[in-house]
A and B are shown apart, each in its own frame.
Chain A
Amino acid sequence: MAYADLLPGEMRRKLAQKIAESETAREQAIDVMTILQGHFGYMSDEAMLAASELLAMTPLELEELATFYNFIYRQPVGEHVIHVCDSAICWMHGHESLLDHLLSRLEIRLGETTEDGLFTVLPVCCLGYCDHAPAMLVDRRIHGELTREKIDRILTKLIEESHSLPGRK
């Protein structure tokens, strides 16, 4: 367990317990990757190796899963990941102009991360909040009935929060 040994002890115990409670280790692949990417920011090659050891899968088998799912990030992402719904209902409710607004505020293109490493914006299909369209997820929390002002408020709040963290300006 060369790579898994490098994980923080507390996290290793938690993951090991989850795996022990399931029918087979690999059943926990998504949960394990979600927890690891929460810690490392994304599924780096090292995180992939650690996860595949814990799950008793080959790195390639795990790669098949990591690259399949919308919420597993195999490349570095910002501190806050914004998934903007681009399905038909949100599109009818002004998705395109809201996305333009969001991207120009952050000065990035879709799929990119801001220079300060704070935000990544990714497209996502229907989030299941069509009764609150247009909608987006920020760090897996839903925000609906979006307007430009609402997006500005969400961003401002996250930026302020990050500035107030110790060690950040």
Chain B
Amino acid sequence: MCPQVLFSNRKPGRIATMEEYRQSGGYKALSLVVGKWTGKDVCAEVQKANLRGRGGAGFPTGLKWLGVPQEGAYPRYIAANCDEMEPGTFKDRILVHADPHMILEGMVLSAYATGAEKGFIFVRPSYESGARILEREIQRARDAGYLGRNILGTDFSFHIVVHRSGGRYICGEATALLNALQGNRPNPIRPPPYPTVKGLWGRPTVVNNIETMANVPHILRNGAEWYQGLSRSSGSPGTKLFCVSGRVNRPGCFELPMGTTLREIIEEHAGGLPPGCQFKACLPGGASTRFLTSEHLDVAMDFESLAAIGHRMGTAAIIVFDHKTCLVEVTLNLTRFFARESCGWCTPCREGLPYLGDLLRRIEAGEGEEEFIPMIRTMCGHLWNAYCALAPGAASPVESLLTNFEDEVREHIRQRKCPCKA
């Protein structure tokens, strides 16, 4: 078993109580830091540990926090992102149900580091049970003096509320999330200014994924060096919550060192593919990443190693497809998802995604033409001109379908039917 940090208190069917969290060292970082370190010290330690965001983009967390201007306006805010609507991703749900206080402590520390006084946890509708757990545990943390007014008897105060979403994928995008929280239509707003300068109600706001937050207490308690030692890779420290789903024997969420190979995650931790199924491809980091083929199964799952072979870590949600699964149909499904969830703000995404979906549908139905292939490529190119990162993410599976499986697409067109169907 690999060292468990975020999941150290994970138990089947039950969440860790505040007492259990405390016994495992929880809230020690808070007593260590609050009233003793400066906010800048906290940012510096997180920066030294090289913690990178777990929400998809992998932005260095310490650097983000240092982006809150010293002279910036007050009040300042924290927005913890528990929207998690990227297909294949369910780690945030598991984390909330495993050890909610770890998230809360991470949020309090991020607030201390940046001078924030109020935090929001943005939760999607299908995680209603998670929202209730968080609300209950927020109350317990407040009663124990870890949250609220005068935390641990100091003059530092910080409040957390749970904000329920109405459910839409784009709300997970940091700037759209801020619009959603304020009760505005959740279209993204392209930076600059960055949310750390001008976020909620025009005030400095830090947006982090809740898994990112949960790493913070451990870094501050055990130090940046310890944190780097958890990883098997030199560039990406710490552990990572990997979700594995699709055609595997044991789908689930596993905490493993950064840099664990994709093969080990799929074959050992997720129990490999069921009998009679062979690995065809996977999406290594959720629906917005590129299809990865068997030649790269030995890649180390960390930010740098994936980038080196032209892939992205994304949310580290690994979706496995076997040799019998038609990847045209998978890509059609993903494209429909993105088309439906597009916020409609900009033309390339609003118009381009249904267009791609239509071409893919016709190919799958045996109505495809050779000329569709260059048409798809051209439209994918346009998606990169969209206003936010949803559309380039949506282009990724489509582009990589053509890069890696052009023969399969052409076979659909030549046979005038899906060759994967009997």
- How many B residues are at the interface, by size bracket? 35 or more
Supposing A26-B182, A68-B185, A70-B166 touch, asked if A125 and B341 sit within 8 A by C-beta, the answer is yes
Residues of B within 8 A of A68 (CB): 166, 168, 185-186, 343
Residues of B within 8 A of A57 (CB): 183
Q: Does A87 contact B (CB under 8 A)?
A: yes
Residues of A within 8 A of B166 (CB): 30, 33-34, 65, 68-72
In the bound complex, what is the Cα–Cα distance between A30 and B181 (angstroms)? 9
Residues of A within 8 A of B182 (CB): 24, 26-27
For A72, the closest partner residue in chain B by CB is B166
Q: Does B89 contact A (CB under 8 A)?
A: yes
Q: Does A154 contact B (CB under 8 A)?
A: no
Q: How far is the CB of A87 from chain B (nearest CB, A)?
A: 4
Task: Count how many pairs of residues, one from A and one from B, have CB atoms less than 8 Å apart in the complex.
Answer: 126
Residues of A within 8 A of B251 (CB): 130-131, 133
Of the 9-residue stretches A88-96, A99-107, A109-117, A159-167, which lies at the interface with chain B?
A: A88-96
Q: Are B126 and A142 in contact (CB under 8 A)?
A: yes
Chain A contacts to B: CB under 8 angstroms: 23-31, 33-34, 55, 57, 64-65, 68-72, 83, 86-89, 91-92, 124-131, 133, 137, 140, 142
Residues of A within 8 A of B92 (CB): 128
Q: List 12 A-B contacts (CB under 8 A).
A: A27-B163, A65-B185, A87-B333, A88-B287, A89-B319, A125-B85, A128-B84, A129-B90, A131-B245, A131-B251, A133-B251, A142-B129
Residues 83-109 of B contacting A (Cβ, < 8 Å) = 84-90, 92-93
Q: Does B167 contact A (CB under 8 A)?
A: yes
Residues 211-265 of B contacting A (Cβ, < 8 Å) = 243, 245-247, 251-253
For A70, the closest partner residue in chain B by CB is B167
Chain B contacts to A: CB under 8 angstroms: 84-90, 92-93, 118, 124-129, 163-169, 181-186, 200-201, 243, 245-247, 251-253, 287, 317, 319, 321, 325, 330, 333-334, 337, 340-341, 343
Q: Are B183 and A88 in contact (CB under 8 A)?
A: no
Q: Are A88 and B330 in contact (CB under 8 A)?
A: yes
Residues of A within 8 A of B341 (CB): 125
Q: Are A128 and B125 in contact (CB under 8 A)?
A: no
